[in-house]
Amino acid sequence: MARRVFDFSSDEDDKKVADKNPITYKVFYSDVSIPTPREPIMVLRNPAGAFEHHISGHFMDPAKRTSFSSDDPNAQADIVKIDARFVEFVKWLGANKISVRLSGKSVRGGFAIYKIREVESGISSQLSAQDGFLQYMIGRLLDSHISEDEFEAGSSEEEEADDDSMKLTSLQSITDFLKCAGKTFPSNIRSWARRNLAVANSDEVSSEERRHAQRALSTMMNIQWKDSYFESIDPVAARRILDEELYGMENVKQRIIETIIQINRTHKLPAYGILLIGPAGTGKSQIAYAIARILKLPWAALDMSAVHDPEQLTGSSRIYANAKPGSIMEAFSRAGQSNLVFIINELDKADNDSSSGNPADALLTLLDNLGYTDNYMECMIPTTGVYPVATANDRSRISDPLLTRFAVIELPDYTHDEKRTIFLKYSLPRVLRRLGLSEKECVVTKEAADVVVEHYKNVSGVRDLEQAAEHMAAHALYLIETSGVKTVKYDKKTAQQLMNS
């Protein structure tokens, strides 16, 4: 725990008082996402137990005092210690004279604050209309992490720097958030944000430049920039998730778990992403989503068959009126954070040389995990928390530079017996649930399932099996509704008739 001494005197008289009785508090570093009295946001000095469960008031202007002034004129207390993530936030509350209600509990050493709400000014305890923005800001701070080195660096940096929904869009909300939570961003993004904020507020640039700067700021500020530390993965739970999404293919599942389990030793993402190669319909996309579940990360998908220009990935320059960020940056924006699983579908269609360049080249910087620069954002985007999972049908169409960025896992097609099991135990029950039918209303024998599988023997994957199950269940439902029967049973003969109809 580090001890910090701050002198916020604003004039000579205050300076003399502060020299005699310096205003001090301790800064501690926490990763707690849900504060409690045992692990609070801050602790106030609580003379004679004056504070109880809720207190309303405001923080003193931090240029003068580091204390909280209650609506009770006789109740005022200095801050004893505070979570490093909330130092700038409390300064902002004080400087803007924002009335708040603190929820806390008396503990040894003071009054432990674990909740802060904005209330209407004065003695009213009614929540302010702006409390939503305040809670958004607090939530972002609690989801962040600040180390002692980052706190020190951030403090020196700031000395040099001179209705909104829960998305930061207006310049005021962006400005406020940057003041309170600026240290939760990588240092290069903090500097970038200050430059763009200056452009967005400037009268010396065109309205188009101001609009682009504000749009870029809104995009960047609404992304939670997390550190690259990853918790250990339970291999049993990981296997269970894969079994839910993929029948059989034991070797494939084992390879996936072996690749991901490296996190348990290093607490970092594996050096290589995963490339799943196999025939259409073998479950590659389902595996990609399962990997996101295993890693407990949001995911964003990109279909390379629709990308014909590298600019679609890396964004267009702001010199154009219709400029916008690229697909990679938009993936961060959709995920809402910097740690995500980036699913690249149809990687075998990435190499597409044109007069404007090859989209595959733009992917390489992302896959190298060194960060990439979006042309619209004009900023280097950290990618250490991005785990790429790609799918492809044809390995021969993927260039060697792309292949070497992945751990390649090949998925074979299913055997006849595996397809029959998938049809009876997965596809058909899923369709019956969707149509509201019970298993007793639509009975399919093993021989009937063999007919279905044989009908699609020249088709890879299992997508057609689900369509066949849909056809069979819909036919059963039709007979039940029109003929008054309670059960429809499909054997080899009736299944042949249905599949040939």
Distance CA 421, CA 450 (A): 10
pLDDT for position 473: 92
pLDDT for position 11: 37
pLDDT class of 363 with cuts at 50, 70, 90: confident
Q: Which residues contact 43 (CB under 8 A, 6 or more apart)?
A: 79, 80, 81, 82, 107, 109, 110, 111, 112, 113
Highest mean pLDDT among 52-56, 225-229, 345-349 belongs to 345-349
Q: Is the dihedral of CA 468, 470, 471, 476 positive or negative?
A: positive
Lowest-confidence range among 16-20, 40-44, 167-171? 16-20
Highest mean pLDDT among 11-20, 69-78, 296-305 belongs to 296-305
Distance CA 347, CA 276 (A): 10
pLDDT for position 151: 62
Q: What is the mean pLDDT of residues 33-44?
A: 91
Q: Which CATH number fits domain 235-410: 3.40.50.150, 3.40.50.300, 1.10.580.10, 1.10.10.10?
A: 3.40.50.300
pLDDT class of 64 with cuts at 50, 70, 90: low
9 pLDDT above the threshold of 60: no
Q: What is the mean pLDDT of the chain?
A: 83
Q: Domain ranges in the chain? A: 20-120+129-148+165-181, 185-222, 235-410, 416-500
Q: What is the mean pLDDT of residues 5-20?
A: 38
pLDDT for position 1: 37
Residues facing residue 380 across a β-bridge: 373
Q: What is the mean pLDDT of residues 430-448?
A: 91
Cα–Cα distances in Å, from 483 out to 315, 431, 434, 478? 59, 21, 22, 8
- Structure token pair of residue 54: 């809720």
408 pLDDT above the threshold of 90: yes
228 pLDDT above the threshold of 90: no
48 pLDDT above the threshold of 80: no
pLDDT class of 343 with cuts at 50, 70, 90: very high
3-class SS letters over 143-184 = CCCCCHHHHHHHHHHHHHCCCCCCCCCCHHHHHHHHHHHHHH
pLDDT class of 5 with cuts at 50, 70, 90: very low
425 pLDDT above the threshold of 60: yes
388 pLDDT above the threshold of 90: yes
Cα angle vertex 62, ends 58, 66, to 5°? 75
CATH 3.40.50.880 matches 416-500: no
Distance CA 395, CA 404 (A): 12
Please count the CA atoms within 13 angstroms of the CA of 57 that sit on its side-chain side.
18
pLDDT for position 20: 43
Q: Is the dihedral of CA 54, 101, 64, 37 positive or negative?
A: positive
Q: Strands, E, within 287-405: which ranges? A: 299-303, 340-345, 372-374, 379-381, 386-392
Q: How many residues does the chain have?
A: 501
Per the CB < 8 A criterion, the answer to whether 276 and 284 are in contact is yes
Distance CA 470, CA 429 (A): 10
Which has more pLDDT, 412 or 5?
412
Q: What is the mean pLDDT of residues 307-314?
A: 85
Count Cβ atoms below 10 Å from residue 448 Cβ, excluding itself: 23
As a whole-number percent, the residues of the chain with pLDDT over 90 amount to: 30
Span 87-138, pLDDT tens digits: 888 888 887 788 888 999 988 888 899 999 988 765 556 777 678 888 888 8
pLDDT for position 62: 60
284 pLDDT above the threshold of 50: yes
Span 250-282, pLDDT tens digits: 888 899 999 999 999 999 999 889 999 988 888
Sequence letter at residue 228: S
320 pLDDT above the threshold of 70: yes
